Structure formats: structure tokens, C-alpha cells
Amino acid sequence: MTLILSNDDIEKVLTMQDCIDVLDEAYVELDEGNGVSRTRSDSFTRTLRPDALYSLKSMDGIVPKLGVGAVRINSDIVTWPTDGGKTRRVKVPSAPNKRYVGLVLLFSSETGEPLAIFPDGVMQRIRVGAANGLGARYLARKDAQHVGLLGSGWQAGAQLMAVTAVRDITTIRCFSPNPKNRESFADEMSATLGIKVTPVASPEEAIKGADIAMCATNTLEPVFFEKYIEPGMHISSIKRPEVETAVIKRADIVVLHSNDGKPIHVIAKGIDVSEAKEDKGWGIASEIDFKTLPTLPQLCNGRIAGRTSPDQVTCFLNNIGLGYQFAAAGSVVYRKAKAAGLGTELPTDWFTEDVHP
């Protein structure tokens, strides 16, 4: 039988600590060359909306130790509005009933059969947070207590859940351009974490005195600058363009999620994709040779050293997502959901065939 799960099901069984721990284990196998992860690909065509494009995105990975492979697919209507002088990437919920489309297909790497099918929303949030949590586990000072956060959206909450899972955080200050958003976010996360989250009126106020500076935005342009850096700080970013190039050059230790500099872009003729421009999105920090920088799997495997001095400035760039994460996290979800009796089982024969493909 193939298990069909909902985001609610996944939220019940996949904790941030679960995801951090399974990624820590799985990344060792990836670094050793036994696990594999394919570079994300984004294909773009026009839509009937003049301000939007259609994007079909996919990524996949196999974790042999856990006996699974996964494909993550997104079918998106994407816009790039400007807000506060910054260009942002915004998905539009255009499917029936104003919904988004993102699916994960989890397979057995022993039999090839589809084990589970589920939406990607909750898992993708947690796996992004978990990767940055791993970065903080290995790179932030052991005595780090104060967090400064830029961003107050869906991903920002997971970043705080992750950092509080790996360090004993006592204070959190949060800035985002919309006062109402940052205030409601601060109230929500204070209740969730049991730690006071204070909304502040400027990025400088959020970052000053922070042991860990976190970025969690959908910007295509830098929001964290070299002038914000303080000795001993750990800088954490969920996407490549958030951090000014000078920050990468200034940090004593820079660790990437992957050496892939950007996704594979397949773009229909005559289309202008904002995030693919030379000076925005994936074009930011183009002078940095991403192929030469160490990666999080190498850090987890002990092939490179993490922080060695309390005064070092460290930086983790979650520069690109991996399909591998969905396989690793998916293994946890599948096992725990089966044990809890969650989801709906459908005949696996519906998804397999007796005709040679």
C-alpha cells in the first residue's frame, strides 16, 4: 500500500529535532559519496498573467542508508514584486480554492515502489530550518544566547525553532519592513518557543549585540551587510542573495549547503526571469567561486573543522535546497506516520505498472 499524507499529518510527526538529527546522519552518507542529490532545476514559461510566469521545479535525492529516494516537484505561478525598494519572489496560490502545488514522492530504494505521496509545505519549511540549525550546531559559539532575525514570514519561524533546538537562546529580536507582520510574528513565536521575541524598528537594532544573526526573507537583494558584523558572530542565511558579498569575504569561516552555485534554469525564449539576472537572485556574489567553499555535509562528516575560536566570524549560506533532504526527512515521516496510523493507504498497484516503461 502507498501512504497518502497531508500537511497536518506531517506536522504531527516531524519535529525540528527529528529533522536536524536525520539530516546530520544523512549528510555523512552524502559526503562519503554513497548518497546522491540531483541539482535542482527550474523551468519557466509565460502565463496568461502579464505579471507572472509558470515555473516547474524539481529536485531529487537518494539516501541508501535509510532505504529511500524522493522527488520534490513544485508547479508554481510566480511573481516578482518590489516592496520597500527590494525585489521579492512571491508564489501566487492559483490552483482551485486558492491553493499552492508542491508534492513529494517517496520511494523505496530497495524495491522501487512508491511508499508515500504528500504535500511539500510543512516539510520544506522544517528542512530549511533544520539545515540552518545544523549550521548553528557546528559554527555558532557554544555560549550563544542572543539572536537577531531579519524576516517575519513562514520560513522565519522555522529558523527560530531550529536555533533554539541547538543553542540555549535567551533573547530574540526581530525586524521586518511591515510593523504589523513583525509584531504578530513576535507574539506567535514568543508563545511557540517560550522565549520573548521582541519586534524592533530597524535591522541594525535587531542585529546589534547578536551572537547569531539570522536572515529568513524572500528578497532577491542583500539584507545583511558587512557593517553589521561583530566579532564572534555566526551569520545564517536561507538563500544566496540575502547576504552581501563583502560579508562572505569578511567571514573567517564560510560554509555552503551545496557547491551547486544555482539551479539549472530552463527558460522559454524572450522571457525575463528576475532571479536569473546578473545583479539579482542567483547572480549575487557571482565573483565567489562556490565550487571551492566547504559544505555542510563535509562539516557533519568531520572533514572540515567548524568554529575553533570564540572571536571567529562564521557564516552558513543555505544557498540551494537539496532533494536529498526530502528523502531523509521523508523516511522519518513515513516511519512515524505508519506507527501512528496516520494518512490514507491506497493500492500500490495504482502507481505501478506491468508494462515495461
* 19 lies in some domain: yes
Q: Give the type of residue at 262.
A: K
Residue 21, C-beta contacts closer than 8 angstroms, at least 6 positions apart: none
Q: What is the pLDDT of residues 83-141, one digit of tens each?
A: 777 788 899 999 999 999 999 999 999 999 999 999 999 999 999 999 999 999 999 99
Q: Domain check: are 228 and 297 in the same one?
A: yes
What confidence category does residue 284 fall into, taking pLDDT thresholds of 50, 70 and 90?
A: confident
Residue 55, C-beta contacts closer than 8 angstroms, at least 6 positions apart: 42, 43, 44, 74, 75, 76, 77, 78
Q: What is the pLDDT of residue 82?
A: 84
Q: How far apart are CA 204 and CA 135, in angstroms?
A: 23
Helix (H) or strand (E) holding 163: helix 154-166
Q: What is the pLDDT of residue 219?
A: 86
Q: What is the pLDDT of residues 187-216, one digit of tens each?
A: 999 999 999 999 999 999 999 999 999 999
Q: Domain check: are 273 and 305 in the same one?
A: yes
Q: Domain check: are 47 and 76 in the same one?
A: yes
Q: How far apart are CA 208 and CA 168, in angstroms?
A: 19
84 or 357: whose pLDDT is higher? 357
* pTM over 0.85, yes/no: yes
CATH of the domain at 261: 3.40.50.720
Strands 2-4 and 114-119, by their bridges, are parallel
Quick one: which of 219, 197, 224, 221 has its CA closest to 208?
A: 224
Q: What is the pLDDT of residue 120?
A: 98
Q: Domain check: are 220 and 109 in the same one?
A: no
For Cα atoms 150, 154, 156, give the angle at the middle one, nearest 5 degrees: 30
* 178 lies in some domain: yes
> Residue 36 is part of which domain span?
2-123+323-351
Q: Domain check: are 218 and 112 in the same one?
A: no
Strands 90-92 and 86-87, by their bridges, are unpaired
* 356 lies in some domain: no
* 201 lies in some domain: yes
Query: Crossing angle for the helix pair 154-166 and 179-193, nearest 10 degrees?
Result: 40
CA–CA distances in Å: residue 160 to residues 16, 21, 76, 145, 148: 10, 17, 27, 12, 10
Average pLDDT over residues 14-18: 98
Q: What is the pLDDT of residues 148-195, one digit of tens each?
A: 999 999 999 999 999 999 999 999 999 999 999 999 999 999 999 999
Q: Domain check: are 164 and 247 in the same one?
A: yes
Q: Domain check: are 95 and 116 in the same one?
A: yes
Q: What is the pLDDT of residue 286?
A: 76
Q: Domain check: are 174 and 213 in the same one?
A: yes
- Whether residue 283 is predicted with pLDDT greater than 80 in this model: the reply is no
Q: Give the type of residue at 13.
A: V
Q: Domain check: are 296 and 185 in the same one?
A: yes
% pLDDT > 70, the chain: 99
Quick one: which of 160, 122, 166 has its CA closest to 12?
A: 122
Number of domains in the chain: 2
Q: How far apart are CA 54 and CA 67, in angstroms?
A: 34
Q: What is the pLDDT of residues 240-271, one digit of tens each?
A: 899 999 999 999 999 999 999 889 999 999 99
Q: Give the type of residue at 76.
A: D
CATH of the domain at 47: 3.30.1780.10
Q: Domain check: are 27 and 67 in the same one?
A: yes
Q: What is the pLDDT of residues 36-90, one digit of tens each?
A: 999 999 999 999 999 999 999 999 999 999 999 999 999 999 998 887 777 888 9
- Whether residue 278 is predicted with pLDDT greater than 70 in this model: the reply is no
Q: Domain check: are 112 and 181 in the same one?
A: no
* 246 lies in some domain: yes
Strands (DSSP E) found in 141-211:
146-150, 171-175, 197-199
Asked if 153 and 217 touch (Cβ cutoff 8 Å), the reply is: yes
What confidence category does residue 13 fall into, taking pLDDT thresholds of 50, 70 and 90?
A: very high
Q: Domain check: are 132 and 6 in the same one?
A: no
* 357 lies in some domain: no
Instruction: Indicate the DSSP class of residue 205.
Output: H
